[in-house]
Structure formats: C-alpha cells, structure tokens
Amino acid sequence: MQQQRNAVGATFWSGMDVVGRQLLQFCFTVLLARLLLPEHFGTVALAYLFVGMGAAVAECGIQTALIQRQDLTHSDLSTAFWLSLTVSAVTCGVMVAFTHVLNSVYGHQLLAEVIRLLSFVLVINSIGTVQISLLSKDLSFRKLATAGTTSAFLSGTLAVVFAWNGFGVWALVAQSLSFSVVNTIFVWRAHHWRPSLTISFYSVKQLIDFGRFVVGANLLEAAYSRVHSLVIGASYGMRDVGFYDRADTSKQLPASALSTLMVRVAFPLFASAKEEKTQLRSSLRTGIRMAIVVSMPMMLGLAALSENFILTIFGPRWLPSSALLQILCMAGALWPIHALNLHALIAAGHAHLYVRIEVLKKSFGFLALLIASFHSLQAIAWAQLTYSIFAFFLNTHYTGIHLGYGTLAQFQDSRAITLISLLMAGVVWTLSIYWPGSGPFELLALAALGVLIFVSMCVVGRATAFLDAVRYVGDWMRSLSHGGRRLS
C-alpha cells in the first residue's frame, strides 16, 4: 500500500512536469501555428529526424542505466557524466560536419543550417543527464516539474517573440535551444551532485554493456518516429510534412505525455523490484490498468473530435491535418502500454531482448510505411495504426514469457475500458456531425459530454480498472489531507 501511495504521489508530480511542460509547449505551438507557415514546421520536423537519431546515440543509454542500477558510487556517476558529454560532443561534431551531404541530397540549404544549430542541443542536454537520472531515481519529480515548466514558458515566449518579428523557422530553432539551456541550468540547481575529474574504465564498460542495447533500440525508435517526415518530404513536399507533423504532434500531447509520465514513475519502481518477479509483475499490471483508464478515453475522444479540434485550435489553414489526427490518435491509445511493457523487460535485466523486439517491430513498421507511401498521407497514418497493433501483440508476447503477464491477461484487463471508450467516442463523433457550429464552446461541450459518458458507464458497469484508479488517487488525496508523507 505504501508503494502504491508513493507511486501515485510521484505520478502527480511527474504529471505536473510532463503534462504541464507539454501543455505549455502546446499552447505556444498554437500561437506559433498562427504566425508561421506549414513549411516552417515541416522543415524543423524533418531536421528532428536527424537530430533525434543523433540524440539516441549521444544519450547512449546512460540515463536508463543509472536508474536501473541500485549500487551507484560517485565514481560511477562522474564516469557517466564525462562519457555522456564526450559522446554527445563527438555526435554533434559529426552532424555538423555532414550537414553539407544532407544539403546536397535534399537541395535544401535551410534544412542543413537548422540541423547544424539543433545539433548543439545534444551537448547541452548531456550536461544534465546525471542530475535528471538521480532526480528520477529518487522520484523527485516536483523539482523536475519546476525545471520543465519554467523552461517551456521561457523558451515558448522567446519563440513567439521571434515569430512575431518575422524570423520564420528560426523561431522554432530558438525555442528548442533555449529550452535545453534553461532546463539544464535548473536541474543542476535542483540536485547537489557535481562531477569530479574521475573516470572508471570498469564503470565505462558496465555502462556501455548495458547502454548498447538501449542505444540500438532508441536509435530504431528515433529513426522510425521521424522517418515519416523524410518519406513525406521526398514524396509530397514540405507543406505536407507540416500537415502530418501537426497531426502527429497534436496526438503526442496526450499520448507521449502519458507514456513519459508512466515510465518515469514506473521504471524506478520496476528496477527496485527486479529481483522479485511477482512484485514486478504486480507493478506492471497496476501500471497498465491505470494507464489504460486515461489513455483509451482520451485518445479515442480526441479522434472523435479531430476536425473540431484542428479548426478551433489551429484554424482553417491546418484542416488537412484533421483526418490524419483521427487515425494517429487510435494508434497513440496503445503507446503507454508499449512503454510500460518494454521498460518492465529492461528493469528485469532483458535489455538485449528489448533490442530484438525493436528490430522486429521497426522492420514491420518500415515495410508498412514503404507500402503506404505509394498511396497517400492517410495511408501512411493507417500504417502507423497497423504498426501499433502489431507492437502490442509482440511486446505482450515477451512479457508473458518472462514476467507471466502476457497478451491475453493484458487484453482482459483492458477490455472493459476499451469497449466503454469506443462507445463514448462513437456517441461523441455522431453528435459532432449534427452539432450546430464549430468553435471553442462546442469543442468544450462535446469533450465534457464525452467525459460524463465515460465516467457514468464505468461506474454503472463497475469497470474495476477505473474504480481501482479512483481508489489509488483517493488514498493519495487522503494522505495529503492528513498531513501524510511529503511528496518530492
């Protein structure tokens, strides 16, 4: 019970960080979408294909390794710091040196210049890797929340000022760079640990032995998550990259935020229970049940309201994104499930298996994308949904083998909430067709109605996952009202 209360408290502060930061960034994106063109967003989205792959290499699995290990020394931490900084600097240098090749391939000088500047984000972020790992390991998410939301506000403000003054795509570049700088400064202030001029080659070997598996999987994920921009840019042009990216980033606000939140809280708990298979399985099941209660209704509800959402939030200029958003939201509903299953395997010491799973999934995903690219933008979005369903079966197959909590068990735990969410989304979508007008009031009214329908059906149908989630939150709120454990 104490672990559940700690987890719920940590979830609250992690949510304040992840959701608060991404919500701020989303609000600024709405402003920027009305000041900038789809081509500007398309250029940065394509640039992040290369920057994201560089980040996967530069991080080299260090953050995951530090959270997973339970016996860290100051020498281990210092070694991790210098290793992260060195690899990031080398990766940054390689990216800067080879941007002229990207320019010659795409014939887009602006793209090369954007990549050159964004590559410095890798070095800046590496400076705070150890502090973020230690804060996450201690479940000190309140400090991370302060750093994240402050960074999001300051960087977003700077981007709007740049966009208002006609700097175009450079407003988005300034946002990314300034966020990394401010966030790194704050996490250094939040944790007392400082590196020493100490490097342990034994620690380097341990970090590389663990991290090489995570790097391979992260590199595949970075490539797959952004390769759509490359394919769309080559086949349809930067404008369509912007439309697809608008739908994808809108989907990521709830889906990615929830996935990140759950993993940041669950992975330290998984790691602490790695020697107890029963406890690890129980923690994974609790995480899956809590995630599905939020993910399914939120993502399917957004899918039902995709056209109203795009028109109201971004304006008629971005209407081609609405059909893409509807499909991508259905794919995003399973994201938290994917993340929890994979991180449970990593915590249990199966990092090598993580890479094997990612290779199988990405091979399927790249093939689906290749076939879809010959048809249309919507076909590419459907390929993403197909990939997500395939990933669910593959991930849960391996957690079933190694943790005893597989596809059938997870489907049974998710079935009631999924069915209720589908029914709610169907009702909301039908009402949106006949609802007069399309504006902020109509969007809020339909969203509120969706929440009411979902909660009512869960209560009437006695959906145990929903009732358990409510009980966990209630326990945490009562602990606060009685002066319980202070959350950090």
pLDDT tens-digit readout, 165-174: 988 889 999 9
3-state secondary structure the chain: CHHHHHHHHHHHHHHHHHHHHHHHHHHHHHHHHCCCCHHHHHHHHHHHHHHHHHHHHHHCCHHHHHHHCCCCCHHHHHHHHHHHHHHHHHHHHHHHHCHHHHHHHHCCHHHHHHHHHHCHHHHHHHCCHHHHHHHHHCCCHHHHHHHHHHHHHHHHHHHHHHHHCCCCCHHHHHHHHHHHHHHHHHHHHHCCCCCCCCCCHHHHHHHHHHHHHHHHHHHHHHHHHHHHHHHHHHHCCHHHHHHHHHHHHHHHHHHHHHHHHHHHHHHHHHHHCCCCHHHHHHHHHHHHHHHHHHHHHHHHHHHHCHHHHHHHHCCHHHCCHHHHHHHHHHHHCCHHHHHHHHHHHHHCCCHHHHHHHHHHHHHHHHHHHHHHCCCCHHHHHHHHHHHHHHHHHHHHHHHHHHHCCCHHHHHHHHHHHHHHHHHHHHHHHHHHHHCCCCCHHHHHHHHHHHHHHHHHHHHHCCCHHHHHHHHHHHHHHHHHHCCCCCCC
pLDDT value at residue 419: 92
Question: In terms of pLDDT, which residue wins out, 358 or 423?
Answer: 423
Question: In terms of pLDDT, which residue wins out, 161 or 259?
Answer: 161
Mean pLDDT of 223-237: 73
pLDDT value at residue 41: 82
Give residue 484's pLDDT band: very low, low, confident or very high (50, 70, 90). Answer: very low
Q: Is the pLDDT of residue 52 over 50?
A: yes
Give residue 382's pLDDT band: very low, low, confident or very high (50, 70, 90). Answer: very high
Q: Rounded CA gap, 75 and 73, in Å?
A: 5
Q: Is the pLDDT of residue 487 over 50?
A: no
Least confident segment among 105-114, 215-224, 370-379: 215-224
Mean pLDDT of 35-47: 82
Give residue 158's pLDDT band: very low, low, confident or very high (50, 70, 90). Answer: very high
pLDDT value at residue 145: 76
Q: Is the pLDDT of residue 29 over 70?
A: yes
Q: Is the pLDDT of residue 3 over 50?
A: no
Q: Is the pLDDT of residue 273 over 70?
A: no
Q: Is the pLDDT of residue 4 over 70?
A: no
Give residue 290's pLDDT band: very low, low, confident or very high (50, 70, 90). Answer: confident
